[in-house]
């Protein structure tokens, strides 16, 4: 796991229940706003369908590095908090870094304890979707370089 | 709210502000998102989590009477307390908690119209203090849960008898297209579609943009003119796990006054996985 993500996961894991809630609220408040150039693309193609809340994810590549952007309504702070964890923990990471993020990330943070199984499955969907998007950009860039 | 069949169960945000220091009234926040209460709630409100508090973590069922009594006692809810529920997402989980309280036979339950969103939109006060109330000695009186809850075998009998079913999920979940698209593992069911004969009325059609419930005339237009229900029908509502359908159960029972409505809380996560039961796809 990239060190930034590792650090955030560790901080959550070591917290008690109430501290974990407060850390997640802080993360939810810290999600950077979507840059103007992306907000016009808030459409179904960028929406995470596994999540009940309207979550939009965007990727930009700079060479091997991935930059993440997201939009989640403030009414869904749990999802915002988790998405902010991914954005902060994975920004600038490589494709391999993102694909190797463990699928039980939520369990590792201890969040599953406060969230319960049903809520956790929605968040797992965000991570799965992110990985699928990253894998797709990788496939597209390989195709492009083969065509050259 | 006067035109509703049981207008007393729906209270306004003004009423809540006036009554919030009344020891006979307890305000309960019940949200889908578990962080919201800690970010600020109606002053004096206690939190009851639909999942962590009301559902048994091992059996797929509600907690037992003893645990329910303990939750009420610790929240300062006595048997004669007026319990007012409100929450996020147009009161889905507030209705779910309301329904669960009715399963245990609590008499006086109400919903704050507009829920958390309207309270905040109207810039009413929010508090981050967790209140504590003198412990009560709640005793579960019990009721007849079969009046408002239905299990899968009875649902099968209900459908064979041609009685009314309402599917309150999104149209894509109803027609079954969602599970067939790639990367859509959301349902946790092996089969997509709906219970044969069920009519599609997404839960959200019963609420306005601001989170309040639609008027009696609008609700009758949706459930009676469009869907063909009437108050003498036996109706079963379901969704994915029974949370959204508790809102529709609330609307039919209290706002339109249908006396025989039950919530199938096994819902699609159960039905879509059952061996030997029929399902239907497409729009009926």
Measure the CA angle with vertex B32, ends B70 and B79; round to 5°: 30
Measure the CA angle with vertex B235, ends B233 and B236; round to 5°: 170
User: How far is C-alpha A95 from the chain's CA centre?
Assistant: 14
> Nearest Cβ partner of B35 from A21, A52, A129?
A21
- pLDDT value of residue B50: 86
Q: In what order do the strands lie in the sheet with B235-238?
A: B199-200, B164-167, B235-238, B261-263
Q: Which of B17-21, B96-100, B136-140, B196-200 has the lowest mean pLDDT?
A: B17-21
- pLDDT value of residue A123: 85
Residues of A in contact with B57 (CB under 8 A): 116
Measure the CA angle with vertex A140, ends A135 and A144; round to 5°: 145
Give dist(CA B29, CA B46) in Å, integer: 6
The alpha carbon of residue A48 is apart from the nearest alpha carbon of chain B, in Å, by 9
Neighbouring-strand partners of residue A56 = A47, A71
Most A-contacting residue of B30, B33, B36, B41 (CB-CB within 10 A), to test interface: B33
Residues of A in contact with B241 (CB under 8 A): 118
Neighbouring-strand partners of residue A60 = A67
Mean pLDDT of A47-65: 83
Who's near B177: CB < 8 A, 6+ residues apart?
B192
Measure the CA angle with vertex B33, ends B73 and B273; round to 5°: 95
Query: Do residue B185 and residue A50 have CB atoms under 8 angstroms apart?
Result: yes
- The tens digit of pLDDT for each residue in B162-195 reads 999 999 998 888 998 865 444 445 557 788 899 9
Instruction: List the catalytic residues of B.
Output: 239
Angle between helices A77-90 and A111-147 (to 10 degrees): 50
Mean pLDDT of B86-105: 96
For the CA atoms of B153, B155, B159, B161, what is the dihedral angle to 10 degrees? 70
Give dist(CA B207, CA A94) in Å, integer: 45
Whether the predicted pLDDT of B208 surpasses 90: yes
- pLDDT value of residue A147: 63
Beta pairing, strands B199-200 & B164-167: parallel
Query: Do residue B32 and residue A52 have CB atoms under 8 angstroms apart?
Result: yes
The DSSP call for residue A28 is H
3-class secondary-structure state, position B194: strand
Mean pLDDT of B196-222: 96
């Amino acid at each position: 796991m990239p060190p930034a993500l590792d650090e955030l996961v560790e901080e959550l894991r070591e917290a008690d229940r109430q501290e974990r809630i407060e850390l997640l609220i802080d993360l939810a408040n810290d999600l950077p706003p979507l840059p103007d150039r992306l907000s016009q693309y808030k459409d179904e193609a960028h929406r995470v369908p596994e999540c009940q809340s309207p979550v939009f994810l965007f990727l930009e590549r700079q060479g091997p590095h991935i930059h993440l952007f997201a939009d989640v309504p403030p009414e869904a702070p749990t999802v915002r908090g988790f998405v902010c964890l991914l954005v902060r923990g994975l920004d600038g990471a490589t494709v391999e870094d993102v694909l190797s993020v463990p699928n039980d990330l939520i369990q590792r943070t201890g969040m599953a304890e406060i969230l319960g199984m049903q809520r956790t499955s929605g968040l797992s969907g965000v991570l799965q979707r992110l990985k699928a998007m990253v894998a797709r950009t990788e496939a597209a860039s390989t195709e492009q370089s083969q065509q050259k | 709210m006067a035109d509703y069949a049981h207008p007393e169960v729906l209270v306004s945000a003004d009423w809540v502000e006036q009554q919030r220091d009344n020891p006979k009234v307890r305000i309960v926040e019940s949200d889908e998102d578990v962080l919201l209460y800690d970010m600020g709630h109606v002053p004096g409100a206690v939190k009851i989590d639909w999942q962590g508090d009301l559902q048994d973590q091992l059996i797929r069922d509600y907690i037992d009477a003893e645990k329910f009594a303990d939750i009420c006692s610790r929240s300062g809810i006595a048997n004669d307390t007026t319990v007012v529920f409100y929450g996020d997402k147009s009161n889905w989980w507030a209705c779910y908690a309301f329904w669960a309280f009715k399963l245990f036979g609590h008499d006086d339950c109400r919903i704050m119209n507009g829920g958390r969103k309207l309270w905040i939109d109207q810039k009413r006060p929010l508090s981050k203090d967790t209140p504590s109330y003198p412990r009560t000695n709640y005793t579960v009186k019990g009721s007849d849960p079969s009046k408002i809850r239905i299990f899968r075998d009875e649902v099968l009998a209900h459908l064979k008898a041609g009685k009314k079913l309402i599917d309150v999920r999104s149209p894509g979940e109803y027609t079954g297209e969602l599970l067939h698209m790639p990367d859509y593992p959301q349902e946790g069911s092996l089969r997509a579609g709906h219970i044969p004969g069920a009519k599609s009325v997404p839960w959200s059609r019963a609420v306005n943009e601001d989170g309040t419930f639609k008027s009696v005339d609008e609700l009758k237009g949706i459930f009676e003119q469009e869907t063909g229900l009437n108050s003498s029908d036996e109706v079963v509502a379901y969704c994915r796990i029974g949370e959204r359908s508790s809102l529709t159960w609330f609307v039919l029972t209290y706002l339109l006054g249908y006396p025989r409505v039950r919530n199938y809380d096994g819902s699609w996560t159960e039905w879509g996985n059952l061996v030997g039961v029929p399902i239907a796809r497409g729009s009926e």
